[in-house]
Amino acid sequence: MRRRTRARELALQALYQIEIQGEEALGDALRFCTERAEDKEVSEFAVQLVEGSLRAKKQIDEKITSVAEHWELPRMATIDRCILRLSAYELLYREDIPPKVSINEAIELAKKYSTANSGTFVNGILDKVYVRFARGRGTRSSVSPQSLAMESLLQGSGEADLHVHTICSDGTFTPEGVVEEAARLGLKAIAITDHDCVDAVKAAQRFGVERGVYVVPGIELSGYLHPNEIHILGLFIDVEDTNLLVKLEEMKRDRVERVSAMVERLDKLQVHLEAQEVLDLAGSSPPGRMHVAEILYKKGYCTDIQEAFNKYLGDDGPAYVPKKTITVQQAIELILGTGGVPVYTHPGLTARDDLIPYMVEWGIQGIEVYYPNHTPDQVEKYLKIAQKHNLVVTGGSDFHGLRKPGIPLGKVRVPLDMVVALKNRRQGNNLLRMSRHQKSGVVMG
């Protein structure tokens, strides 16, 4: 059996399960696709079909209804309804699949899983959908060529670094420079996770296609829970999500005020610098402690950036000012709201394992087990915690370029399979999000 034929069978069974059991079956249905698939290519295509069919369900149903004379969708056999949605999604939104293939595959599914007459019924409906809505269109795909090229980079084996900063926050490499360095080092994937900023993601993704490096869209948020800042990575986020972008603007304004507060505390310690110096160094990026530390180093108050944190800016330092724009729970919910995967990052540094059960309740879905400062005992501990709470395991270097000279890109590497696992978790989140919006009558743009 051909891989895509097998993937369609899995996708059909998943859609049928969701149709019968409702949205609570989304997670089980996606796991069914990945667990029953013979290989990664089959599982990925099956999940794409399920996600696409559900994302466009409202529009697909309207088109099927408009051509199905004397038939209402609720009166159709459930399996036929699922076959039609699956195949209509291919016809209307997947330019990479020939229409003839989509229709023929649908007929075969109907013959195998439905009644003797279903093949003819499905053929008639899909022919009309194609003629009325798809034939002659310049493009049917909702997936850009760049996205399709990017997805192909996840095939095969390789390594990834899932915690990377650029010049758009407090790193020293441009988005293109990070991708170029990743390609030079043989990394197959990286996650761009700038602090409170997504400006680097699209540029990195465009260049990633050229250089053969998959770029995960991400962010690193700071949530406050007295007395700590807890850092949460958002992986596979929607960088165009309106709520996220509005909140990031608010965070940037708060960061400017925070710099002024840190400068005031330093001044009381007889360490003198101007807030404007820090803002000038940050430029259009959200200003933070790393920029303050570099100014301290340049003025000779410390021998390197790490000493600036040790003496003044660390979480227990005399000039430290926490970011309080959002709580940990709000950070997690903000990421989930974009369809992304929230990940508790460098838990060994924060040393607040007591908060993990609460974070699980709030929706945390991953934990950064592999990190440069984590000891083997910590790695073993967090692997067990991940298993206990069904969290996706991630890892990354927390690369900042020259501002962390001892941490090169790829210092921590994880298998490419972890990226796929994160992507699958994200797709489950996105399906649930879309289903809830559809139930509430909200149209997703």
In 3-state terms the chain splits into helix, strand, coil percentages (rounded to 5) of 60, 10, 30
pLDDT at 438 over 60: no
Cα separation of the two ends of the chain? 37
- Rounded CA-CA distance 324/327 in Å is 7
Residue 228's pLDDT band (boundaries 50, 70, 90)? confident
Please compute the mean of the pLDDT values over residues 55-61 and round it to a whole number: 88
Q: How confident is the model at residue 418 (pLDDT cuts 50, 70, 90)?
A: very high
CB under 8 Å to 194, separation ≥6 — which residues?
165, 166, 168, 169, 170, 171, 200, 219, 220, 285
pLDDT score of 310: 94
- Sign for the pseudo-dihedral over CA of 139, 141, 147, 153: negative
Q: What is the pLDDT of residue 443?
A: 35
CA–CA separation, 193 and 222 (whole Å): 12
| pLDDT at 240 (0 to 100) | 87
Most trustworthy range by pLDDT among 17-21, 113-117, 366-370: 366-370
Rounded CA gap, 237 and 322, in Å? 25
The token duo for 44 is 């990925």
Give the whole-number percent of the chain exceeding pLDDT 90: 64
Q: What mean pLDDT do residues 76-93 have?
A: 93
In the chain the domains, ranked by start, together with CATH numbers, are: 3-143 (1.10.940.10), 152-255+324-427 (3.20.20.140)
| Per-residue model confidence (pLDDT) at position 131 | 85
Is 54's pLDDT higher than 60? yes
| Residue 425 binned pLDDT confidence (cut-offs 50, 70, 90) | confident
pLDDT at 220 over 60: yes
- pLDDT at residue 330 above 60? yes
Assess whether pLDDT exceeds 50 at residue 171. yes
Average pLDDT for residues 161-167, to the nearest whole number?
Answer: 97
User: Of all helices (H) and strands (E), which one includes residue 389?
Assistant: helix 376-389
Percent of the chain with pLDDT over 70: 92
| Confidence band for 80, pLDDT divided at 50, 70 and 90 | very high
pLDDT of residue 442: 37
Least confident of 28-37, 146-155, 328-337, 348-357: 146-155
Tell me the pLDDT of the chain averaged across its residues: 89
Q: How far is Cα 353 from Cα 412, in angstroms, rounded to an integer? A: 22
User: For residues 334 and 428, which has the higher predicted lDDT (pLDDT)?
Assistant: 334
Q: What is the pLDDT of residue 117?
A: 85
Look up residue 414 and give its amino acid.
V
Instruction: State residue 136's pLDDT score.
Output: 58
Is the distance from CB of 365 to CB of 350 less than 8 angstroms?
no
Averaged over 66-85, what is the pLDDT? Answer: 90
Q: How confident is the model at residue 140 (pLDDT cuts 50, 70, 90)?
A: very low
Buried b (16+ CB within 10 A) or exposed e, 182-195: bbeeebbbbbbbbb
